[in-house]
């Protein structure tokens, strides 16, 4: 299998490249102008996307490139729609032109988000793929719109697309914009001598946390064995409160702290619980989570103390 990976230098993209290399998959890593070691693409430029396809001649395109931070999407929604939705439209246009020139159409594995489910009644949890999306913020809306765009292209032009709705993923190297990485980074600074005060948002929210290494294994499995035109949850099936995650990190770090609420970290449309079913993914691919939650936390802490976490948005 030959692969093209957009967003290859982001948090998930780097782990995906590692997973593909472990399976000896030839992958072309695509990035933006700040990523000189990758094939340069611009999601606003169809020609650059088509050139990447011609260079890679992929069997599958892993489309990870996105503006992935909900806070930024709320602050600047137009930019998020341009990157996440219009960027997806430009990619599909490039694929159509590539195929019209005589190439074989690649499969598109689209990294969507469980955020598309939005506000749901508690009785619907854990969420399955039949739940109608109800986006609660611009980021979620941008991903839901991209999903519909891809499915429309599948029906109209025969695009081979598989949609992966990933729930919250964590692991070493994630940006401090995200809650678990933020906790770890704050704890690391405290351990190094900073004031022993941690600033937090809503600790009562419950999320379905899955290690990023399990997420990318699911993406690769779906690229091989997912059904065209189908949507799959990528989830652990377990809801953990943010408070539980923080407690686990503090136990691993052995750092005494004072925890304070930070109004700036509270979201105006925070969903109280997100947890998903993963039975459809398991049945299609045989995938199962392999990385234990405590190992994820330990690896995140180790990365934070070594300063190896990088502020990548994806």
pLDDT in tens, 173-190: 999 989 999 999 999 999
- Residue of 132, 134, 135, 140 whose CA lies nearest to 81: 140
Does residue 142 contact residue 73 with C-beta atoms inside 8 Å?
yes
pLDDT at 134 over 70: yes
pLDDT tens per residue, range 46-74: 999 999 999 999 999 999 999 999 889 99
Domain-by-domain residue ranges, the chain?
Answer: 2-173+210-235+277-289
The predicted structure's pLDDT at residue 71: 86
Per the prediction, the chain carries an average pLDDT of 93
The predicted structure's pLDDT at residue 269: 52
Does residue 300 contact residue 249 with C-beta atoms inside 8 Å?
yes
Radius of gyration of the chain (CA): 19
The predicted structure's pLDDT at residue 313: 43
What are the angstrom distances between the C-alpha of 130 and each of 26, 180, 218, 280, 313? 34, 29, 19, 11, 29
Residue 311 vs residue 288, higher pLDDT: 288
For the chain, how far is it from start to end, CA to CA, in angstroms? 24
Cα separation, 139 vs 309, whole angstroms: 23
pLDDT at 308 over 90: no
**Beta-strand relationship, 169-170 and 60-63:** unpaired
Q: How confident is the model at residue 201 (pLDDT cuts 50, 70, 90)?
A: confident
Q: 135 — phi, psi (to 5°)?
A: -55, 140
* Range 199-228 average pLDDT: 95
Residue 37 vs residue 11, higher pLDDT: 11
Topology at the third CATH level for domain 2-173+210-235+277-289:
Rossmann fold (3.40.50)
The predicted structure's pLDDT at residue 267: 62
**Beta-strand relationship, 2-6 and 60-63:** parallel
């Amino acid at each position: 299998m030959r692969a093209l990976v957009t967003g290859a230098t982001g948090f998930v993209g780097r782990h995906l490249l590692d997973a593909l290399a472990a399976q000896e998959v030839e992958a072309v890593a695509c990035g933006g102008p700040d990523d000189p070691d990758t094939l340069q693409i611009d999601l606003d430029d169809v020609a650059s996307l088509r050139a990447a396809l011609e260079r890679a001649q992929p069997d599958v395109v892993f489309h990870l490139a996105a503006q992935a931070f909900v806070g930024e999407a709320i602050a600047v929604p137009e930019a998020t729609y341009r990157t996440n939705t219009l960027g997806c439209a430009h990619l599909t246009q490039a694929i159509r032109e590539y195929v019209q020139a005589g190439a074989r159409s690649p499969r598109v594995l689209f990294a969507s988000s469980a955020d598309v489910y939005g506000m749901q009644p508690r009785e619907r949890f854990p969420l399955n793929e039949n739940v109608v999306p109800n986006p609660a913020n611009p980021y979620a809306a941008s991903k839901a719109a991209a999903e519909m765009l891809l499915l429309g292209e599948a029906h109209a032009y025969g695009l081979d697309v598989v949609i992966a709705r990933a729930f919250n993923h964590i692991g070493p190297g994630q940006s401090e914009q995200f809650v678990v990485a933020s906790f770890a980074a704050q704890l690391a600074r405290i351990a190094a001598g900073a004031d022993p005060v941690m600033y937090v948002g809503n600790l009562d929210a419950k999320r379905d946390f899955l290690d990023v290494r399990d997420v990318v294994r699911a993406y690769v499995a779906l690229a091989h064995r997912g059904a065209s035109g189908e949507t799959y949850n990528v989830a652990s099936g377990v809801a953990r409160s943010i408070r539980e995650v923080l407690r686990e990190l503090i136990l691993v770090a052995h750092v005494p702290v004072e925890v304070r609420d930070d109004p700036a970290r509270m979201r105006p449309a925070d969903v109280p619980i997100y947890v998903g079913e993963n039975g459809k993914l398991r049945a299609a691919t045989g995938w199962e989570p392999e990385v234990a939650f405590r190992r994820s936390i330990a690896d995140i802490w180790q990365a934070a103390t070594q300063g190896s976490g990088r502020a990548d948005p994806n």
